[in-house]
Amino acid sequence: MKKDRIALVLSPGIRFIGGMALMLAFLFSDSLIYRLAFIPLLLTLVPLGGKRILWKNYLVLIFFITFFNLLNPWGEVLLSLGPLAITKGALTSGLLKGITFTGLILISLVSISRGLNFPGRLGGMIGRVFYYFERIFEQKHRIRKEDLIGTLDEILMEIYSESDPD
């Protein structure tokens, strides 16, 4: 796992608020160039935050969004590839949606970090969810393919019968 360098200078709460501000700035204009300009910054921040950039996934995502938008042509025809006409309007719209979609995922990766506590009763419950998640995760090596139900049942029985964490 990569080292989270942002955590050295920002608390999880401030980081989350900063991420939300970055999201508002990202969505401020509908211009493709404007949103594209944020991408290098986000691609720098994500690894600094200790997260991995799934290049292939994001590129495939942008490709698919753009491709499906191209199937609905509008505006000036830039190129014709057999039955498919690549139009300026559809291409710009598809790329804008793809970049926006990817940008928001990157912002989410930058904003969320370990130790982020949500306030209130729901926040307390989320804390408990993470506790149980970690307890189940610790026991995952005991899960056997040949007796999936039996081993999983044993783990759940064991963890659930433990006293409620304080």
| Cα–Cα distance, 90 to 87 (Å, whole number) | 5
Q: Is 76 in the site for another protein (CB under 8 A)?
A: no
How many other CB atoms sit within 10 Å of the CB of residue 43? 14
Figure out which of the listed residues 8, 33, 115, 160 binds another protein, where binding follows CB under 8 A.
Answer: 160
Q: Is 31 in the site for another protein (CB under 8 A)?
A: no
Q: Provide the minimum distance between the beta carbon of 31 and another protein in the complex, in angstroms, as a whole number.
A: 18
Q: Is 85 in the site for another protein (CB under 8 A)?
A: no
Identify the burial level of 52 via C-beta atoms within 10 angstroms of its C-beta, where 0-12 means exposed, 13-18 middle and 19 or more buried: exposed
Figure out which of the listed residues 21, 77, 125, 142 binds another protein, where binding follows CB under 8 A.
Answer: 125
Q: Provide the minimum distance between the beta carbon of 11 and another protein in the complex, in angstroms, as a whole number.
A: 17
Q: Is 6 in the site for another protein (CB under 8 A)?
A: no
Residue with tokens 């996934």: 57
Which of residues 140 and 141 has its CB atom nearest to another protein in the complex? 140
Alpha-carbon dihedral of residues 29, 30, 33, 35, nearest 10 degrees?
A: 70
Q: Provide the minimum distance between the beta carbon of 47 and another protein in the complex, in angstroms, as a whole number.
A: 13
From the list 4-12, 33-41, 76-84, 102-110, the region that binds another protein by CB under 8 A is 102-110
Q: Is 28 in the site for another protein (CB under 8 A)?
A: no
Report the sign of the C-alpha dihedral through residues 61, 63, 68, 74, in that order.
positive
Which residues contact another protein (rule: CB under 8 A)?
A: 19-20, 23, 51, 57, 60-61, 64-65, 68-69, 71-72, 97, 100-101, 104-105, 107-109, 111-112, 122, 124-137, 140, 149-150, 152-153, 156-157, 159-160, 164-166
